[in-house]
Amino acid sequence: MEPLHVALEPFDVENWPLSKLRDLQEERLRIGLVLERAACSSLYAGRWPRLRARGGRRLVQALPFTSAADLLEVQSGRRLRRLAVAPVHLWLSSASAGERKWIPFGAQDLLRTMGLTVRLSRLLGLGAGEVLLMVTPPAPLFQNGLPYFWAQGDRWQGDLHLEVIAGSMVMAEHNNWPEFAVRRQPALLVARPSDALTLAPRFAGAIGVPEARPREAFRRLRLGLFYGEPLDPVRAELEEAYGLEAFGCYASVEYPYYACECPAHQGLHVWLDLALPEVIVGGRGRPEAVFLDEAPVGTEGELAVTTFAQALPMVRYRTGDCVRVVGTDPCACGCTHPRIQVLGRV
């Protein structure tokens, strides 16, 4: 079955009104046959009722939720070979404890992730020719691909001619990439907060002054994008140590779309053109959910997402993360996509 036939990144989509973004979601669900394609996957086959209408937003809410346990059950059995519904170009893993989840990515999924990095470059205010340092945890995680997605995204859709340096926490003490990064003088650091703190003495040692702070080594560093862990408890420490403005972001291998802070720092923007997010607000018994773009400010609950992916659409996937709705009105930065705060695991 054919994947989406719509533009991957419509012009100025960050600033579209909510009504237009909802129409785009309907278009991507219906024209992209997201639910119909998902129904062919072993993750959903046998769990869903027969679809009697072309899938839109409201039909999504008539379907059951999907969980990590469902995914692991399919992954560990014979049904794995029927998990993907399009040719797979890359398998990437989660960083969760216990058995790791593996998600297939098709060609269009990779292109969409590359396009998203161009959006992040705009959101963060990167300039032409600037250098990015991306520090990743040990493979094989989704974040390991980010340096290559970002470099290819700029080449494919961007025009900033960015330079990307990929560093790894694997044997960081016995590799010269920290010294090389200092010589290249990046403007943006992308890392987990704990990794950035761990590397601080290493960067100081790169200039031969063990007691120095990283900000003395990185004279051009002005931005930090931090993922994978809570940022707020160490935000001030990172900003002081590195002399940068810290931005939080949220993503997972099941939801690889990097909800991100903007310069207004009023929550993480969740991109409505890339997924259909819901907040589960029901208590005991049958869980109930409200679309994120329709949720009142202050609503708290578990985040569930429906993605428009090519190889494996995740439909009403429960992320296991509790969020608070910060705002659904246009942000001070001009972006119209809703904003959330991640509160922690459910």
What 3-state DSSP class applies to 24? helix
The string of pLDDT tens digits covering residues 294-325 is 999 999 999 999 999 999 999 999 999 999 99
pLDDT score at 5: 38
pLDDT, averaged across the chain: 91
Cβ-based neighbours of 68, under 8 Å, separated by 6 or more: 96, 101, 318, 320
What does the pLDDT average to over 213-218?
94
Report the alpha-carbon distance of residue 241 to residue 224 in Å, rounded: 12
Show the tokens assigned to 245.
């403005």
Number of H helices, E strands in the chain: 10, 14
Integer Cα distance of 144 and 153 in angstroms: 15
- Give the confidence band of 195 by pLDDT, cuts at 50, 70, 90: very high
16: pLDDT strictly greater than 50: yes
Every domain of the chain and the residues it spans = 13-40+42-83+267-345, 110-250
Least confident piece of the model among 186-195, 209-218, 235-244, 247-256: 209-218
| Greatest distance between any 2 Cα atoms in the chain | 68
Tell me the chain's radius of gyration from C-alpha atoms: 20
For 193, which DSSP code?
H
Q: Which of 59-68, 106-115, 233-242 has the lowest mean pLDDT?
A: 106-115
Which range is least confidently modeled, 1-5, 215-219, 248-252, 277-281? 1-5
Q: What is the DSSP string of 136-174?
A: E-SSSBGGGGHHHHHHHHHHHT--S--EEEEEESTTGGG
pLDDT score, position 211? 81
Q: Which residues of 73-85 are buried (b: 16+ CB within 10 A; e: fewer)?
A: ebbeeeeeeebbb
The H or E element containing residue 110 is: helix 107-124
- What would the DSSP string read from start to end of 306-318? EE--SS----SEE
Kindly report the CATH class assigned to 110-250: alpha beta
Contacts (Cβ under 8 Å, ≥6 apart) of 41? 82, 83, 84, 85, 312, 313
Q: Is residue 7 scored above 60 in pLDDT?
A: no
In this predicted structure, which of 32-36, 76-80, 180-184 has the lowest mean pLDDT? 76-80
Reply yes or no on whether the pLDDT at 193 is more than 60. Answer: yes
Q: What CA–CA distance (Å, rounded) separates 192 from 81?
A: 33
Q: What is the pLDDT of residue 111?
A: 87
Residue 4 has pLDDT above 60, yes or no: no
CA distance 261 to 24: 23
User: Tokens 């639910």 — which residue?
Assistant: 35
